[in-house]
Amino acid sequence: MIDQNEFPSDADPFDIAPVRLTVDLGALAENWRDMARRSGSARTAAVVKADAYGLGLEDCGETLYEAGARDFFVAVVQEGVTLRAYAPEARIFVLSGIWPGQERMFFENDLVPVIASEEQLAFWMSVLVEFGDYPCALQVDTGFNRLGLPMQDALALAEDVSRPASFSPVLVLSHLHSGDTPSAASSKAQLESFRQVSAAFEGIESSLSASAGIFLGPEYHFDLTRPGIALYGGEAVNGMKPLRPVATAEARIVQIREAAVGSTVSYGATHQLERASRLAIASVGYADGYLRSLSGSGIPLRTGGTGGGFGFIGGYRVPVIGRITMDLTIFDVTDVPDGAVRSGDYIELFGPNMPVDEVARAAGTIGYEMLTSLGLRHERRYLEAE
């Protein structure tokens, strides 16, 4: 029988993890300060929905609060409940609004619902009748055709003298659908529409711009900006260099194997080697959010001519070869010098040497999806902000 005492138990889980994620909270805080500077006279919120874009709501929320953020946006009420413990004096807006049965969660955690439809508005009015005054925000659709009251309905609501006095929104907001494309004429059209809304709700703060809109200039900033992806090191505007990288994902190399010319690699034998090759088998797959569409071959849905993803190890970019599987990915490390890569080493999947948006484009998607798809198996290390 094996004596368990013979094995050390003090190993750092991060150092032995199959897949791991480093989150630089200092870079996150500095990215928020950068976006606050770019927002000029407008206050700057922080969008932390989807577990802070996959990087951890608790740690990221607390870091952003300590950096100075006092307005936060989450997608659903449960996120707001979690965040409240880490942002005690902040205003926390819930973008999906409020539904019957959620009243206690909102009131006990001092969360602000974003009213985004006629149905929600009617329900909210009934809540106010029963519970009295309570703040809300009002979302108006200026051309997205997603959430928000139709613009004409919002203008009529602003002018409705019979509107209950207890209905007192603290913010009106809308969202640009093409803010990441600076040349899009639609952003100017949405801006003009939102100016009408803002004027109709005189005396109430207004917010139009998420990350991309902040870069469009001061006229888009209004009273409050709402940066999201830019905080986490992703591209906010197409073709523009992102801010500081925040997340680095790595996978351990389980095995390095020699493969003969003419042999095939991975499921479906979709890649045939044209040279004798050295292959590194890494312990990451689509179960960890390393998307199958990054495969080096055998992916009929991917278009645009891309050959698949790359990793970074030993100072070299190395291609994914063959299909990515649930738990394993194969990289071609033939061109990496002998001794520069060994079993047990970690390969960078995305991070400072492999920008997350570059990896995402190889997968036919966007950095948002790469970050929010991170699986549960990543062992996490947070580098504290000063």
Q: Are residues 217 and 318 in the same domain?
A: no
The pLDDT value recorded for residue 118 is: 94
Same domain, 281 and 216: no
Q: Give a yes or no: residue 306 inside a domain.
A: yes
CB 229 within 8 A of CB 215: no
Query: Looking at the structure, do residues 48 and 192 belong to the same domain, yes or no?
Result: yes
Asked whether the predicted pLDDT for residue 214 surpasses 80, the reply is yes
Q: Which residues are catalytic?
A: 49, 267
Quick one: pLDDT band at residue 300, thresholds 50, 70, 90? low
Question: Has residue 303 got a pLDDT over 60?
Answer: no
Model confidence at 322, pLDDT cuts 50, 70, 90, reads: very high
For the chain, percent of residues with pLDDT exceeding 90: 86
CATH of the domain at 64: 3.20.20.10
The whole-number pLDDT of residue 125 equals 93
Q: Are residues 225 and 256 in the same domain?
A: no
Domain membership of residue 32 (yes or no) is: no
* φ, ψ for residue 75, nearest 5 deg: -85, -40
Total number of domains in the chain: 2
The pLDDT value given to residue 331? 98
List Cβ neighbours of 217 (8 Å cut-off, separation of 6 or more): none
- Does residue 25 form part of some domain? no
Q: Which residues pair with 15 in a beta bridge?
A: none
Altogether, the residues listed in the chain come to a count of 386
pLDDT over 70 for what percent of the chain? 95
369 within domain boundaries: yes
The band of 302, judged by pLDDT with boundaries at 50, 70 and 90, is low
CATH of the domain at 328: 2.40.37.10
The amino acid occupying position 354 is: M
In a domain, 211, yes or no: yes
Q: Which residues are annotated as a binding site?
A: 146, 326
In degrees and rounded to multiples of 5, residue 65 shows phi and psi of -65, -45
Mean pLDDT of 112-128: 95
Confidence at residue 306, expressed as pLDDT on a 0 to 100 scale: 57
Are residue 294 and residue 198 in the same domain, yes or no? no
Domain range enclosing 73: 39-232
Residue 327: inside a domain: yes
Range with the poorest average pLDDT among 253-262, 275-284, 298-307: 298-307
The reply to whether 315 falls in a domain is yes
From the list 96, 98, 26, 36, the residue with the least C-alpha distance to 69 is 36
**Res. 294: pLDDT tops 60:** yes
Q: Is residue 281 located within the same domain as residue 308?
A: yes
Sign of torsion, CA 306 288 311 56? positive
Following DSSP, what letter does each residue of 355-374 receive, concatenated? -HHHHHHHTTS-HHHHHHT-
Residue 1 has pLDDT above 60, yes or no: no
pLDDT of residue 3: 64
Q: Point out the annotated binding site for substrate.
A: 146, 326
Q: CB atoms < 10 A from the CB of 15, how many?
A: 11
In this model, does residue 116 exceed pLDDT 90? yes
